[in-house]
Amino acid sequence: MQAQDRMDPSQTLSIDAMGGDNAPRIVVDGVAEFLESRPHMKALLHGDEALLAPLMAGRSVLQARATLVHAGEKITSDMKPSQALRRGKGTSMWNAVEAIRDGKAGASVSAGNTGALMAMSMLILRKMDGVHRPAMTAVWPTLRGRTIVLDVGANVEADAQQLVSFAIMGEAFARATLAIARPSVGLLNIGSEEMKGHEEVREAHEWLRAAGLDLDYRGFIEGDDISMGMVDVVVTDGFTGNVALKTGEGVARMLASHMREAFTESLMSKAGALLAMNGLKRLKSLMDPSNVNGGVLLGLGGISVKSHGSADARGFARACEMAADLAASDFQGEIAANLAKIGTGGVAA
């Protein structure tokens, strides 16, 4: 099925239609919702034609602006990255990422196996010059709006130079996705004092202060500063970032559960819930993962967006929106310009 023979790569997303817990239906529904909200965009849907064609049939927005690209194989959620790479070519995930390298689309989106997507993206798209290790992002709801946290799992450890590169990449990413002209950046530490933290964190702190980078660097922040929204970008290693992210998600679920119990335990509390309905709806929207869906592996030669595997159609559409915003921005050029200012063993002149 061809929506249009020629597509503008910068206005086209490449979609792994078979990845995720509820694929391909929620992927197709999410892409349709995305295309309805972005009339100038188009999509390539990679997957099993026998399954996708019926889901796309009769939907005018998909018929007009989506192209089905058959892929007979898919990457399953239980595959190790090495297994996924061996299966590789011909799978919906591989083909979706490969379309970025081949200039057929500006960004790819997949809700599939995270480890496999990271491995394939790194192999196909390669790393940007000056990036030793890519970093995975997360968007964190805060009292001030949203904060970008990275790394949240791509690297267990990170040395000082890698932390500096994460700061550079996260700042450009925040500008493209949060529409903040000059995002503030903080380095996650166990305290705000100069002597706190391990050697790599302290060294990265000195680099960020002295490198002459075009960054609004605010210094050290602590864990409780993340949800307060003290900075727009929080930089840390993948081990710490992943633990913080999972802890935050767990606390959010606990609070939601306690609030449901509190507002349903009596007639009086139910009446209170009705009076507070507008505020509760705003809180639910802020904490709803579907509204902040999409992580990006920064530092590659192309844009690969990871949607939550359990995302619903609305959540997948949000991941597509993030991918489209990044494809339309010059955030990779901004990253390259600042990476050029740091050397391999210290601050460049």
Q: What is the pLDDT of residues 144-156, one digit of tens each?
A: 888 999 988 888 8
- Greater pLDDT, 46 or 227: 46
Q: Which CATH architecture group holds 133-293?
A: 3-Layer(aba) Sandwich (3.40)
Distance CA 277, CA 258 (A): 16
Q: What are phi and psi of 137, to 5 degrees?
A: -100, 160
For residue 343, is pLDDT > 80? no
Nearest Cα residue to 201 out of 243, 247, 160, 143? 160
In order of 124, 210, 252, 300, 347, the CA distances from 339 in angstroms are: 21, 14, 36, 13, 10
Do the strands 145-150 and 135-142 form a parallel or antiparallel pair, or are they unpaired? Answer: antiparallel
Superfamily of domain 1-131+299-330: Isopropylmalate Dehydrogenase (3.40.718.10)
pLDDT range class, residue 347, cuts 50, 70, 90: very low
Please state the rounded mean pLDDT for residues 336-341.
Answer: 84
Distance CA 331, CA 159 (A): 23
Which segment of 13-27, 31-45, 232-246 scores lowest on mean pLDDT?
232-246
Beta-carbon contacts of 190 under 8 Å, excluding residues fewer than 6 positions away, are: 196, 197, 222
Do the strands 295-298 and 304-306 form a parallel or antiparallel pair, or are they unpaired? Answer: antiparallel
Per DSSP, 261 falls in state: H
For residue 340, is pLDDT > 80? yes
Please give the pLDDT value at position 289: 53
**Residue-wise DSSP of 29-97:** HHHHHHHHH-TT-EEEEEE-HHHHHHHHTT-HHHHHHEEEEE-SB---TT--HHHHHHH-TTBHHHHHH
CB 252 within 8 A of CB 200: no
CB 103 within 8 A of CB 6: no
pLDDT range class, residue 230, cuts 50, 70, 90: very high
pLDDT range class, residue 253, cuts 50, 70, 90: confident
In order of 21, 215, 230, 263, the CA distances from 171 in angstroms are: 31, 7, 14, 40
Task: Give the CA angle between residues 156, 162, 163 to the nearest 5°.
Answer: 85
Convert the pLDDT of each residue in 86-142 to its tens digit: 998 999 999 999 999 999 999 999 999 988 999 999 999 999 888 888 899 988 888
Whether 1-131+299-330 and 133-293 share one fold: the answer is yes
Beta-carbon contacts of 51 under 8 Å, excluding residues fewer than 6 positions away, are: 18, 24
pLDDT range class, residue 172, cuts 50, 70, 90: very high
Distance CA 64, CA 42 (A): 9
Q: From the CB of residue 343, how many other CB atoms can be counted at a distance below 10 Å? A: 12
Please give the pLDDT value at position 344: 41
Termini Cα distance of the chain: 54
Please give the pLDDT value at position 268: 73
Please state the rounded mean pLDDT for residues 52-65.
Answer: 95
Domain spans of the chain? 1-131+299-330, 133-293
Please give the pLDDT value at position 53: 96
Angle between helices 267-275 and 277-287 (to 10 degrees): 80
For the ranges 128-132, 253-257, 277-281, the maximum mean pLDDT occurs at 128-132
Percent of the chain with pLDDT over 90: 54
For residue 274, is pLDDT > 60? yes
Please give the pLDDT value at position 173: 92
User: Which residue is associated with the tokens 């000059």?
Assistant: 182
pLDDT range class, residue 257, cuts 50, 70, 90: confident
Per DSSP, 340 falls in state: T
Count the helix, strand and coil residues of the chain and give each as a percent rounded to the nearest 5.
50, 15, 35
